Amino acid sequence: MKYLQGQPHALPGHRATLADYAARHFLFAVEGGVATVTLNRPERKNPLTFDSYAELRDLFRALAQADDVKAVVIAGAGDDFCSGGDVHEIIGPLTRLDMPGLLAFTRMTGDVVKALRACPQPVIAAIDGICAGAGAMLALASDIRLGTERSRTAFLFTRVGLAGCDMGACALLPRVIGQGRAAELLYTGRSMSGAEGERWGFFNALHAPETVLDAARALAGNLARGPTFAHGMTKKMLQQEWNMGVDEAIEAEAQAQAICMATNDFHRAYHAFVAKQKPAFEGD
């Protein structure tokens, strides 16, 4: 991994900690088991670059081995979430690449979504202001999205002469808001307002701009204090079952639940219930 190589502190069994990881192309902090990734170019509405794409991909891959991170929050600095790929640092150079170079780039951006979805931690996006292009895909790939009334989400690939099928949009967006609504947004590239996004199920809830990040961190903290091994299993099954029939899914869930029943967290929950206490989950 280009940016993370040698930086996480290795633990037995190839586990790692990320609390001391020094991000290069965004802000990163871990507190109380919650990692916060903050896209930090507010003067440009937090656009992504070749380097930030690559570092995000590597970070989310590393999270699969991070013992000290139980939930993740993604946010943008200032009044916006992310305006997508930087016009000058990405779009311009792409017009000069050959086909192998273009394919390498589009595969890398798709790998960011794959890594985000594959990490076992629940990922919560705190979305204020502009959430466009690749930024909208980071939000869409997250497990939970909190927005504001002034959120403006746009899958604006067609605005620059591209198809609306970037980074998994045609697979993910219809599953979140429905086929017809997704088709409209992907064909037109128009902005979806915060209220519209909540009504359509894109946003789980709306908050005031000054409280949306705190709300995301509070939710992430609650999840981090829960049975995190089981949360990872829930995330995995939510994704795997898209490609299963109902009978196959029921069998897969039987196997997943049996695995969770063998964890110490399950036993802790039972003994705490008997003692009329709140269980202290440890993720094992």
Q: Kindly report the CATH number assigned to the domain that includes residue 243.
A: 1.10.12
Residues 205-259: tens digit of each pLDDT: 999 999 999 999 999 999 999 999 999 999 999 999 999 999 999 999 999 999 9
280 lies in a domain? Answer: no
Is the overall model pTM greater than 0.75, yes or no?
yes
* Closest CA relative to residue 170, chosen from 180, 182, 158: 182
Query: Are 263 and 199 in a shared domain?
Result: no
Distance CA 70, CA 195 (A): 30
Query: Are 152 and 49 in a shared domain?
Result: yes
Neighbours of 254 (CB within 10 A): 10
- Mean pLDDT, all residues of the chain: 92
Q: Is the pLDDT at 16 greater than 90, yes or no?
A: no
Give the pLDDT mean for 43-65: 95
pLDDT score, position 6: 44
- Give the model's confidence band at 117: pLDDT under 50 very low, under 70 low, under 90 confident, else very high: very high
Residues 55-85: tens digit of each pLDDT: 999 999 999 999 999 999 999 999 999 999 8
pLDDT score, position 14: 60
Q: Kindly report the CATH number assigned to the domain that includes residue 215.
A: 3.90.226.10
The vertex-232 CA angle with 121 and 64, nearest 5°, equals 55
18 lies in a domain? Answer: no
Query: Are 108 and 154 in a shared domain?
Result: yes
Q: Which domain holds residue 165?
A: 26-225
